[in-house]
Amino acid sequence: MQIRPLQFGSVTIENPVVLAPMAGYTDAAMRTLCLEHGAGAVYTELASSEGLSRDGGRTFCEVLESPWPEHPVAGHIFGADPDRMAEAAKLLEQDGRFDWIDLNCGCPVKKVVSRGAGAALLKDLPLMSRIIEKVKRSVSLPVSVKTRIGFNHDTADHLEIARMVEESGADMIAVHARLAKNFHGGDPDLEKLAGMKQTLNIPVIGNGGAFTPEDAFRMVDVSGVDGVMIGRGAVGNPWIFEQIRQGSRVACDTEPVPQATRLLERRDLMAEHLKRLVALNERKQEMIPDRAKRYTPEEAACIQFRTHIPYYVKGLFDKKQLLMKLASLMSVAAIMEEIDILMEKNK
């Protein structure tokens, strides 16, 4: 298997193995670490078009701002109002940091779907089409769509969705090969993903179930997609992008492989991740000085890192002792002390 560079509009992704947008995970700290470890492109976390267009940029500051340069990067937005989505897209374009605009039409989370956005748009293809068309007319940046093969078995099928996205003017589509109602359950439907690829002229990136290089290779081999999007498989394991880029067909576990990512490398990456989270929170507090601050930037970073640590330490002996202490570790020094103890046990 060979994944070739992917191009749509003005964007070229040399290694089209990209980091998926994940709320609570893919802030600038994780995005830049993944880029440095081989990711071909990254997406921001899910950002509300309503918030971006109405609150004077507060959502923009909190969710999307990065202290570090990062390219290629997509500004990833959601909403159910074509005008608001277009306004949000224009704000992202005017900022100048984004290479393209991505529209979320597949998030199955209840608080998004209940607003008629995300995966709910799969039940209203005319509205989804109007959103894509409106955004496309409003910006000069390329526009892509992240979606699923359908909402459930009673709504529009994958081919109808695919045709509508292309006809509405999208430059690229990323497809999670599961129904929205199934969230992350069950195997991705690579046959339907292949059907969408065969139907479309625009590039298709496949998403869902890629936890190892072999998973990514199989997705491309079976479906013929132009690239692969990695989500949960990259949490605590940014090395996966480089492994895929190098074309390694060596099977690996769903966790970082100790012999390939030595303990010291894993430890140092955790330290760097924490350092960037602190810097990110310092930046946010500087940008919104009037907001009441319950936590210092360091404390906020330690809380945010709790969702990442279990993935970084998968497969390590006696990791439970560290995980049980997480709630009480509110400084970088305290977390790294416990990590060093764990690493020493696993030498």
For residue 148, what are the β-bridge partners? 176
Strands of 50-171, DSSP E: 73-78, 100-105, 143-148
With a CB cutoff of 8 Å and minimum separation 6, the contacts of 174 are 18, 20, 102, 144, 145, 146, 147, 204, 205, 206, 207, 229
173: closest CA among 164, 186, 185, 182? Answer: 164
Expressed in percent and rounded to 5, the helix, strand and coil fractions of the chain are 50, 15, 40
Q: Active site residue: 105, 107, 252, 302, which one? A: 107
Measured CA to CA, the distance from residue 216 to residue 343 in angstroms comes to 30
Burial class (CB in 10 A: 0-12, 13-18, 19+), 32: buried
Strands of 53-169, DSSP E: 73-78, 100-105, 143-148
Backbone region of residue 303 per phi and psi (left: phi > 0; alpha: psi in -120 to 50; beta: other values): alpha
Structure tokens at 287: 């940008």
Q: Are strands 6-8 and 11-13 parallel, antiparallel or unpaired?
A: antiparallel
Q: Taking the CA of residue 263 as centre, how many other CA atoms within 13 Å lie in the half-sphere pointing to its CB?
A: 12
Measured CA to CA, the distance from residue 205 to residue 219 in angstroms comes to 10
Asked if 107 is an active-site residue, the reply is yes
Measured CA to CA, the distance from residue 121 to residue 139 in angstroms comes to 21
* Cis peptide preceding 72, ω within 30 of 0: yes
Measured CA to CA, the distance from residue 92 to residue 86 in angstroms comes to 10
Max distance between CA atoms of the chain, in angstroms, equals 58
Residues labelled as active-site residues: 107
